Amino acid sequence: MVTSDSPSFVGGDLCLDFTNTVDGSRDGEFQDRVTSFGDLVEWSLSAQTIDRKEFEEILGEAEKDPEEAARVLGRAVKLREAIYRLVRAEDRNSPGFRSDLDVLEGELEVGLSRYGICQTATGEIQWAWRRATTLEALLGPVAKSAADLLSSDQMARVHVCGGPRCTWLFLDTTKNHRRRWCDMKTCGNVAKVRRYRKRKAEESS
Ligand SMILES: [Zn+2]
């Protein structure tokens, strides 16, 4: 749950943070924070999957080709919703799961083409993303993050926020595995205030 216009990164994993660009319930009342290609580029900059120079270049390219920008936005939303369902799925043998996996696989095929090894200034070899030069390049890091998470034992630590109107996902990395809220400052605080009011009401009755 958010209380400001700036993107929030409390999910503990890039792909979860991307699914958290929807506030409220996907089945009911919700607010989507990625409704334009500009929103998608802004989010990517905030998520640090692109730097300021890539941000400017990609926005420039999008201005030249608004149709491609609209297509990539559509793919981004499709990928985001597929990730949300994949992560929450209880039945990994359902046709829905398989078709969401196809969406992810399709984006991985395109996205991973710019992921490879490079040599650092000190001579070390490491995996890295090559510069993002196309509009669709924004989707690669999110798709890879989802594939990494889905294929890891961290999946058991992914939870939905306990807030009454919040469906944000987070990776519980706390030692005692008892994290319940997307963010203590928002949903956690609402719960704290509720408990306090309930206690006060019980005391005075
Ligand atoms: Zn929440």
**pLDDT > 80? residue 160:** yes
Confidence class of residue 2 from pLDDT cuts 50, 70 and 90? low
Task: Quote the ligand 1 centre to 70 CA distance (angstroms).
Answer: 30
Task: Quote the ligand 1 centre to 153 CA distance (angstroms).
Answer: 23
C-alpha distance from residue 41 to each of 95, 152, 198 (Å): 32, 28, 43
- Nearest partner of 6 among 44, 38, 41, 46, judged by Cα: 46
Give pLDDT, residue 8. Answer: 85
Residue 81 or 198, more confident: 81
**pLDDT > 90? residue 1:** no
Residue type (1 letter), 161: C
User: Is residue 42 packed enough to be buried (19+ CB in 10 Å), middle (13-18) or exposed (0-12)?
Assistant: middle
- Structure pTM? 0.91
Handedness of CA 195, 29, 49, 130 (dihedral sign): positive
77-103 as b/e, with b when 16 or more CB fall inside 10 Å? bbbbebbbbbbeeeeeeeeebeebbeb
Task: Quote the ligand 1 centre to 181 CA distance (angstroms).
Answer: 5
- Under DSSP, is residue 99 helix (H, G, I), strand (E, B) or coil? helix
ipTM of model: 0.98
Residue type (1 letter), 193: V
